[in-house]
Structure 1
Amino acid sequence: MKTFLKYAGVAVLAISLLGSCKKSFLELNSPTNVDPGVALATEADLLIALRGAYAGLRNVDLFGRSFPIWGDIMADNSYQHTLNTNRYTLYNNFTFNTTDANALGAWTAGYSAILRANRVIAAPLPASANVDQYKGEAYAIRALIYFNLVRYFARPYTDNPSGPGVPIVLTYDPELKPGRSTVQEVYAQINDDLNKAYTMMTRYVNSSQFSKYAAKGLQAKVYLTMNDMPNAKTAALDVINNGGFTAVTAANHAGYWAGSAVTTTKLETLFEVSSDAVANLAFDALSYIYSQAGNYGDLVVNDPLYALFETTDVRRALYPMATRGGASIPTVNKYPVISGDYSDTKVLRLSEMYLIAAEASYPAEETAARDYVNYVTSRRNATAIASTGVQLYEDIITERRKELAFEGDRYLDYMRLKRDIVRGTNYPAAARNIPYSNFRRVLPIPQTELDVNPTIRPQQNAGYN
């Protein structure tokens, strides 16, 4: 049983002073609410608030569903079958606008989670092993949310670090109406939070809680996104060499994905967002939108992705052929549990650290790059990569696509690499080629936020005005 988030409902009530998101993350409850110093007066209070911050990550438009869905449907891994329940149609077709409910949901839920983390971080408790651990986890949660918000609502760091990012909110202020910080400022805040998290956390609890090396794994991904390859490699190798995690192998690959319980074994998962038998999204869970055994099964595997897997590759079994609309097509079974202890959302895995080390080693150390990427291929019964030069780099990116499919990374890789997207015939004709210059390659600041925040109103992303 996933005990850490079992009392998420209680945690949400305990931190209800964080406020409502009816209109925007800025529309908070009255400042006459219980003083945070009183509300979080003990270590037990702090732990309850931290549980609430973790529970916030499971929101349907965060890691509960939209973040991992966007990363594949906006790219070229998944598509919406013609038999569907109209979920994520606008993203399949690239026609979303400023009133899109999912974008608004991610914005409001993201800042709600940030405010919950802020409460923990700002709690006026003396330092102790527990307080430092709880605050370290809160720093990591805040960094994770900012990392996702800035990647979806702003152009990449590799495009223009001085461009508009997202608002940085580090305190509770009901009157605050912030404008957008620069992309560079947001990434600086993310790295500052992760440095503090790494220093403050001293214990590993389970896969549903941040730990020291989960924070370092997230930082490896942050540096990769910034194209800071030396720091990305250093962080990834710190996890690989010192984190104590072991990689999933071909022999235990199927069992790893079939399982849904939070683990303490340090097998593969650095961090995941938990959905258990008590705290879950029911029919809105990530597993439901993929599962052909559930009521939806809307999103299926794009044919070119399926074609990449050799018949010996154990990952191929995660995409079984199924009949939908009278035709046999590859489907997604990476999140197979749709009742009871639901499949969790994998956020950070050890195998990705090897892929980051591989990409970060290129072009200066091609042998090392091949060794790191083939650490993954050798554990999937896939043919080893033997290429050199530019082809080696492309093979590493393709291996990322195969290994991290349906975990929300493909689109974000397209963004950091500033590449056009060619999606193929499974998509509507008008949405098969999405150039990097397309204004919808970033999400709009939600209209609701523009309506209530005069500071951000003139800072809408280009093309949505």
Structure 2
Amino acid sequence: MNKKIIHIASFTAILSLFSCSDYLKEDSADLLIPESVTDFVPLLLGEGYPDRFGSQISFVNLMTDDVEMGPLYYTTEQKNDKYCTTWREGIDAKAGYGEAAFVWQSDYSENIKDGFWSGRYSNILGCNTIINALPEMTYAETEEGLYRALAAQAYALRAYHYFCLINTYALPYSTANLDKPGVVIKTSPEIQIAPQPRATIREVYALINDDIKKAQEYMAGAVFQCEKYTGRKPEITSAAIYFLAARIALFQQDWDGVISAAEKFLAKNSSIHDLNNEDATLFGYVSSFEKTGFCANNQQLDEVVFGFGRSDGGYDYLAPNSPVLMYYEYGFHTSWTGENSLIGLYNEDDLRLQAYFQRRYNKSGNTFNPTYYAGQYHPHKYDQRAGTNYSSQAWRTPELYLNLAEAYTQKASGVSNDAIGLLNQLRVKKYKSGSPDAEKQVSDFATKDDLIQFIWQERRRELCFEEIMRFWDMRRQGMPSVEHQLFSSPKEYSVYRLKTGSPNYVLPIPEDETSYNNAIENNQREVIASSSQGTLE
């Protein structure tokens, strides 16, 4: 048997989760040799799953139109609240905390640590170890279902990690871009230090498509242990594999592929959580000993398919959580000014405006008897203090409905009634009961393109600040022009504009790869200078 040698250090996190020593076979004081399927299960859990995500890539939110910089208050009450607007001269907000990404600098490596590339490849290495070991992996006859589930998860996770990489460090999928540089393909279970060039976008998507296909093939007869959990979804399941397959197809404009995978998913899970069933007075609260606030990424919710990245920051750089910017009069926050702001997309009947954003902050510092004040629209999809049922990231059923609605619309010759029906199934659960704005009609859209634009807006409303979906969507939706105002004081700002189709929509490959891989070609980016200055009244 060709045994794979794994260093004990890579299992440190796993051992804290699994007390049964039978999972691992010791060969020496320094090495472990997995053999059976039960040996490999904790390896995939600890090495193949994305235990960190937001903290590695959350700076990308600053590059989108969902974030702006400016005064942190938007009401008179907030402007006069010293807890929200104290100006502290002792800390320089211009020290580069996120500014490089906000103005799309061609090289931001001195200001921002990009851990996304290395994080995904670290997870890919874990998946490769499982996949490479499958032909010789041992298991009892009663464990075949576990074996097939392990294989399905490994292939699905590797597809996901490469999906993340290709949609962040390469040009968007299109016929014209297929033979342009993608990312490095690594399928070996061993750490490779020899120089490796980038594969083409075509080649990377071929691997992704093959992996998600194999994941579905292994699903037959698979027994997913995580499906036995009550109220927790920390692992890939059969439903999650169909969910991912639909997303992968969407980003390749494979509308038939989206429909096929989505229909299989809906046969397993069609639940959309009804916000009308929640106590709206708890929307916007961070959970404490006194109150339990609502969070969309709670794994106990029926619409959550897969949760990951527990205790991992997802909103770094945004006030008020930023330790640098939270007491300033200005900083980075959810966009609420201008015609294209995120907050401007919601109307007063849309319950997501309260449920998905934090607006009450504990200014007393007392956990047991906190005093709250009204804050800004800070993203509030998860709660790190609420225990193991919460994840910083989650795949949720509403995305599947939106993917399917877009596929139906793209295939239709006119305004798709099927797409509108899917939108209405989602919106009636997210709007106040009886709202006349919840359900749309065919007559509300003059053309097919109007409906597509509305679906894209619905994606912003529903999926805001989840993974880096807005950045990925902007790339596949034509890389539109964006304008940002960078403040140097509470009143003065400079204007930066990202032009349509800018190469800065593709992130530079981090130095931790280019420093040793001299065969890799980095992405070209342009210098974006300030185009004008401005002053607030």
The residue type equivalent to 2:268 in the other structure is: G
Q: How many percent identity over aligned positions?
A: 23
**2:63 and 2:104 in contact (8 A); partners too:** yes
Matches within 5 A, 1:40-79: 40-54=34-48, 57-59=50-52, 63-67=53-57, 70=60, 72-79=61-68
- 1:452 aligned counterpart, secondary structure: coil
2:109 to 83, 99, 106: 99
Aligned-pair Cα RMSD in Å: 3.5
Q: Does 1:228 align with 2:254?
A: yes
Give the Cα–Cα distance (whole angstroms) in 1 for the partners of residues 202 and 487 of structure 2.
34
Task: Give the aligned partner of residue 504 of structure 2.
Answer: 440
CA distance in 2, matches of 1:69, 1:130: 38
Seen in structure 2, the aligned counterparts of structure 1 residues 443 and 33 have a Cα distance that, compared at 3 Å, is farther
Which amino acid in the other structure matches residue 359 of structure 1? Answer: E
Letter in 2 for 1:361: Y
What is the letter of the counterpart of residue 286 of structure 1? G
Q: Secondary structure at the match of 2:429?
A: coil
State the match for 1:286 in structure 2. Answer: 314
Deviations 1:405-453 (A, max 9, x none): 1112111111011131334658796665322332211111223422311
Residue deviations 1:15-46 (CA, integer Å, cap 9, x gap): xxxxxxxxxxxxxxxxx9988xx722122220
338 and 79 in structure 1: CA distance in 2 versus 1, 3 angstrom threshold? farther
Q: Which residue of 2 aligns with 1:244?
A: 269
State the match for 2:465 in structure 1: 406
Aligned residue for 1:142? 158
> 1:175-228 CA distances to partner (integer Å, 9 max, x unpaired)?
543211111111111111111112223344141100112111111111111111
2:395 match: secondary structure: strand
State the match for 2:381 in structure 1.
334
Q: Find the counterpart in structure 1 of residue 423 from structure 2.
A: 373
Describe the superposition over 1:105-158 as per-residue Cα deviations: whole angstroms up to 9, x where unpaired.
Answer: 211121111101111111230462212211211111111111011111000112
Question: How far apart are residue 399 of structure 1 and its match?
Answer: 0.6
Distance in 2 between the 1:256 and 1:375 partners? 25
1:371-422 Cα deviation digits (max 9, x unpaired): 1122211111153233321211111111111011111211111101113133
TM-score (norm 2): 0.70
- In structure 2, the partner of 1:10 is 13
Gaps of 5+ in 2: 1-9, 18-27, 73-92, 227-231, 284-291, 363-372, 432-436, 528-537
- Distance (Å, rounded) in 2 between the aligned partners of 1:130 and 1:236: 25
Mapping for residues 338-353 of structure 1, pairs under 5 Å: 338=385, 340-341=387-388, 343-353=390-400
Does residue 88 in structure 1 map to residue 150 in structure 2?
no
Question: Where does the alignment leave 5 or more consecutive residues of structure 1 unmatched?
Answer: 1-6, 15-31
Structure 1's 287 and 257: CA in aligned 2 closer, same or farther, altered over 3 A? farther
Secondary structure of residue in 2 paired with 1:210: coil
Counterpart of 1:422?
A: 482
Deviation at 1:338, TM superposition (A): 3.9
Deviation at 1:98, TM superposition (A): 6.6
Supply the distance in 2 between the matched residues of 1:175 and 1:33 (Cα, whole angstroms): 25
Q: Is the counterpart of residue 258 in structure 1 residue 295 in structure 2? A: yes
Q: CA 1:361–1:439 in 2, change beyond 3 Å: closer, same or farther?
A: same
For 1:150, the aligned partner's letter is I
Q: Which amino acid aligns with 2:120?
A: G
Structure-2 residue corresponding to 1:217: 243
Larger Cα-atom Rg: 2
Larger RCO (alpha carbons 8 Å, 6+ apart): 1
Q: What is the letter of the counterpart of residue 142 of structure 1?
A: R
Asked if the contact 2:233/2:304 (under 8 Å) is kept, the reply is yes
Match for residue 125 of structure 1 among 119, 132, 137: 137
Residues 264-308 of structure 1 show CA distances to partners (whole Å, capped at 9, x for unaligned) of: x7x111212141xxxx34xxx226765747857665210021121
Matches within 5 A, 1:318-333: 318-321=356-359, 329-333=376-380
Alignment partner of 2:186 out of 165, 169, 187: 169
Deviation at 1:354, TM superposition (A): 0.7
1:200 aligned onto 2:218: yes
Q: Distance in 2 between matches of 1:250 and 1:430?
A: 40
Letter of the aligned partner of 2:335 in structure 1?
N
Could you tell me whether the CA contact under 8 Å between 2:358 and 2:375 is conserved in 1? no
**Displacement of 1:99 after TM fit?**
3.1
SS at match of 1:115: helix
Higher alpha-carbon deviation: 373-382 or 111-120: 373-382
AA aligned to 1:78 is V
Greater displacement, 159-168 / 246-255: 246-255
Write the letter of the residue equivalent to 1:441.
Answer: Y
1:397 to 448, 456, 463: 456
Q: Which one has the bigger helix percentage?
A: 1
Q: Comparing both structures, which one devotes a greater share of its residues to strand?
A: 2
Find the counterpart in structure 2 of residue 157 from structure 1.
173
Q: In 2, Cα distance between the equivalents of 1:91 and 1:212?
A: 37
Q: Secondary structure at the match of 2:40?
A: helix
Q: What residue in structure 2 maps to residue 109 of structure 1?
A: 119
